[in-house]
Amino acid sequence: MFRRLSSSLPKDPEFPTDLEKLGYYINEKDQIRSIAHPDEEFNFFISKNERVREMQREALDTCIRKELSARFEASSLNVTRLPLNAGPSDPHTTILTSSNLATARRLIVYFGESMQDLGIFAHRIIGQDSIASGSALDFVHAIQSTEGSADTAIVIANLGQLVWYRRGQRAMTIASWNALPRRTGVGNPMRIDPVKNHIPGNGNTKEHVQSVFEEVLGKLARQDAVINLIGLGEGAEEAVGYLEQNWRHWDSKVKAICVGLGFVWKVGDDVQNEKFMDFWGKRARAYLIHSELVETPLAGRQDLSCNCFSSGESAFTECIMPRAHKSMLAFFQLVNDIPGYFEAELDIPRDGDDTSRVVKWETGIRAESPRAA
């Protein structure tokens, strides 16, 4: 029997974490393009070797994270560690909070997908359109450009980077963990130790959502601040699940909810909190994968128990926020501006029904206080 010594195996590929050395630059449209061929986007398929492609991708993602870190800081977003008492070298993850978190009377909170880095919506949008549109930058700037933005704080949760990398003293996604250097180019990824690589109170997405609500919103923000919440994919499921179970504490604070979904989950079967379901049906919207224009009413209330609309994105859940966040923010503004606002129920037939049609959506307004819902 023969075996190969590790010294004879191919080396693990390495790529510089520098955009120019990788052969790319950021053009005047905020797009990442090839230096040699300025009309070409990032070339992922530089090799048939999956490990080579994976390592080049991670090197580019590192460059994007560095670029965004500087831009978030310039946009008055601070990095906040969770747990709150964690030091720089203690196991922790990070979220983004605006500098007016402690004083703002209104909070807009975002829970994203579990595979993305902090503040990134969709790498495919970053590659195709721009760094700002594929990240939270355009979303943040849209909030900051509205009237009353000085009294509106932003919280961006981090459901992706929940594995603690001890040597690098930072949290990372599973994708980044798998891209850590290996002894050889055909070696296995490092094992994740359930204790040493665990972040207290943020070991999984459910814990992280609870931590954001109870540690950040519960301790760092004004207690009389109203909350507008956005959830995408798994972030939507976890945030809605947490609120349903803890609605007694949050019912006076959460004012409206938007969720972006690439799937429809059945809401209501296992829900015991009737007060939350009443709120959900009147102050929540779901933006679904669909090719119709953003905010076109869709079928789906039968399952989701809230009005459903097209996100304007026809393929990928991660692209819903870049396409639909302006509509979500407009909905929040509507709820905040109109006392007693509620969503009139849209009972739209499913595709294939002879009566299927696109209906004109009209708001519903009740002559009662906003909190009565």
CA-to-CA dists, residue 295 to 176, 292, 311, angstroms: 35, 8, 6
pLDDT tens per residue across span 93-113: 999 999 999 999 999 999 999
Q: What is the pLDDT of residue 310?
A: 96
Locate 216 and state its tokens.
Answer: 């950040």
pLDDT tens per residue across span 151-177: 999 999 999 999 999 999 999 999 999
Locate 59 and state its tokens.
Answer: 């090197």
Distant-in-sequence, close-in-space partners of 162: CB < 8 Å, separation ≥ 6: 93, 114, 171, 173, 199, 202, 203, 204, 205, 208
Q: What is the Cα–Cα distance from 218 to 286, expressed in whole angstroms?
A: 26
Cβ count near 91 (within 10 Å) = 24
Cβ count near 167 (within 10 Å) = 8
Q: With contact defined as beta carbons under 8 Å apart, do 126 and 134 qualify? A: yes
Q: What is the pLDDT of residue 302?
A: 84
pLDDT tens per residue across span 224-251: 999 999 999 999 999 999 999 999 999 9
Q: What is the Cα–Cα distance from 299 to 348, expressed in whole angstroms?
A: 5
Q: Which fold has domain 75-162+199-372?
A: Rossmann fold (3.40.50)
Q: Is the pLDDT of residue 1 over 70?
A: no
Locate 368 and state its tokens.
Answer: 């009662």
Locate 22 and state its tokens.
Answer: 């990788």
Place of tokens 């398929």: 45
pLDDT tens per residue across span 56-90: 999 999 999 999 999 999 999 999 999 999 999 99
Write down the pTM of the prediction: 0.91
Cβ count near 45 (within 10 Å) = 8
